[in-house]
Amino acid sequence: MKKNNPKALLPIGVFLVLYLGLGIVFEYVMKIPMGFYNIPIVTAFLAAILTACLQNRELKFDDKLSVMAQGMSDKNIITMLLIFLVAGTFVGVVGRSSAESVAYFMLSLIPARFAVAVLFVVSCFVSTAMGTSVGTITLITPIAAAVSAASGFSLPLCVGSVMGGAMFGDNLSFISDTTIAACNGQGCAMKDKFRENFGIAFPAALVTLALILLLSMGTDLNGAVSQEYNLMQIIPYVLVLAGGVIGVNVFLVLLVGIVSGSVIMLTEGQITAVELIGNMGSGASGMFETCMVAILVSAMCALIRDYGGFEALLSAIRKVFKGKKGGQLGMGLLVCAMDIATANNTVAIVMANPIASEMSEEYGITPRKAASILDTFSCISQGAIPYGAQMLVALSAVNELGYELSAFDVIPKLFYPGLLLVSSLIFIFVIPDRKKV
C-alpha cells in the first residue's frame, strides 16, 4: 500500500503562502510595478524544500538528498532543461525585428478594415514561432496601440486581440516553455501533444477571429498603419514552425532556426558577430530561472511523493472527480489553481506534472492528453488573470506610450481564453477519446 500523508503537502503550502502572499503585498499594498515578478521565486522554492527536509525525522538527511537526486536525475527533466536553453538561444538570435516584420507585412497586405483581425492572426503566428506569449505581447502591443490611434478601433479590443493571439501560440508552440514542461513532464512527443492540442485551440481561435471581425465592422475608420518590413527575417520562424509540425526532433529544429537566423542577421548587416554571440548568451540566460525552478520543483516533489503527499492528494481527488472524464477535469482545475496562485503557467505545469502523472495512471489518461490538458488549462487562467505577466506587460507597453488603460478595460475583450475553456470542456466531455497509438 502507498503511504497516505496529507502533512507531506505542507511544502507546497509554504511556497504558495510565501509567493502569493508577498505578491499580493508587493502588487496591491506597496504598489510595486510587476509586484508578483519582483519576488525571488527560487528563494520561495528553497524555503519549501527546507520545510520538506525538516519533515519525516525517521529519514536521515543524506537519504533525503538521495531522494531529491533521484527526482532531479529523471531523463525528462534533463531534456526539458536542455530544450529551455536552446530555445532561449533561438529567441536571442532572431530578436524583435523579425516579429515586427511579420506584423507590418500583414498590415500592409490586408485592408485596414481587418487590422484588428490581423493583430490577432499575427500574434498567433509570432507566439507559435517564438514560443513566448510575453515576448509577443511586448513586440506587438505598441503596434496595436498605433493601429488603434490611426484607425479608430477600440484600444482594449486591439490589446485583447494581441493577448489572445499570444496565448494561442504559448499553448501550441513547440518551443514554448509550457509545451516543453508539459511534454517532458508527461513523457510524450511534442508532435503528439500538438495534434491533440490543435483540435482544442484552433476552433477557439476561429470563433475569436469571427468575433473580432464582427466587432470591427461597426467601427468608422480614420486611417491605417504603414511601416517598413523585411521578409527575410521571417524565414527562421517559418523553418522552426514547419519543422515542429512535421515532427522533426526539437533540438534539430531549433538548431536550424539558430543557424538560419544567424546567417540572415549577419549577411544583412543587422548585427555584428560579437553582438550575435552576446544575444545568444542573453537568450540562454533568460531561461536560467525557469531551469532552476524545474530542478527545485523536481527535488521538492520527490520528497513529497516519498512521504505520501501525492497519494493523499489523489485520495482527495478520487472522492470529488469520478471516472476518466472527471479525472481530466480535475487535472485541468489542479493546474489552473496552481497558475492562479503562482501567476506563472510554466511554474504551474512543472508543479502539477508529477501529480498529473499519478492521475494519468489512476484514471487511464494518455500522456499526450495529459500534456494537452496541463498546457491548455494553465494558458486559460494565465491569459485572463489581471496580475499575470501577460496583462502587466501589455498595460505597461500601452501606458508608456501615454494611453490610459487598466486590466478591467481589457478583460471583457479577452475572447480567446474564455472560448478556449469552452472548447476544452467540449474536448473532455463530448469528443470521444482517440485510440491509443
Instruction: Give the model confidence (pLDDT) of 204-231 as tens digits.
Output: 999 999 999 998 887 666 656 666 767 7
- Residue 52 is predicted with a pLDDT of 92
Task: Reply yes or no on whether the pLDDT at 20 is more than 50.
Answer: yes
Q: Dump pLDDT digits (tens) for 306-356.
A: 888 878 888 888 888 888 999 999 999 989 888 887 777 888 898 888 889
- With CA atoms as reference, report the closest residue to 401 among 26, 126, 138, 185: 138
**pLDDT band at 274; cut points 50, 70, 90:** very high
Q: Dump pLDDT digits (tens) for 36-52.
A: 667 788 888 899 999 99
Cα(99)–Cα(229) distance, integer angstroms: 10
With both helix axes pointing from N to C terminus, report the angle between 288-307 and 41-54 in degrees, rounded to the nearest 10.
20
User: Cα 232–163–270 angle (5° rounding)?
Assistant: 25
168/42: higher pLDDT: 168
The DSSP call for residue 28 is I
- CA-CA-CA-CA torsion sign (46, 49, 54, 57): negative
Query: Would you give the distance in Å from CA 218 to the centre of its chain?
Result: 33
Number of alpha helices (DSSP H) and beta strands (DSSP E) in the chain: 21, 0
User: Cα 264–266–272 angle (5° rounding)?
Assistant: 150
Q: Dump pLDDT digits (tens) for 378-397.
A: 999 988 887 777 887 888 78
Exposed / middle / buried, residue 431 (Cβ in 10 Å: 0-12, 13-18, 19+): exposed
- Are the beta carbons of 137 and 393 closer than 8 angstroms? yes
Radius of gyration, alpha carbons of the chain:
22
**pLDDT band at 284; cut points 50, 70, 90:** confident
- Are the beta carbons of 418 and 164 closer than 8 angstroms? no
What pTM does this model have?
Answer: 0.77
Q: Report which listed range, 2-16, 186-200, 299-313, is most confident.
A: 186-200
Cα(80)–Cα(222) distance, integer angstroms: 48
- CA-CA-CA-CA torsion sign (303, 306, 312, 315): positive
Cα(162)–Cα(212) distance, integer angstroms: 11
- Residue 437 is predicted with a pLDDT of 43
- Residue 121 is predicted with a pLDDT of 92
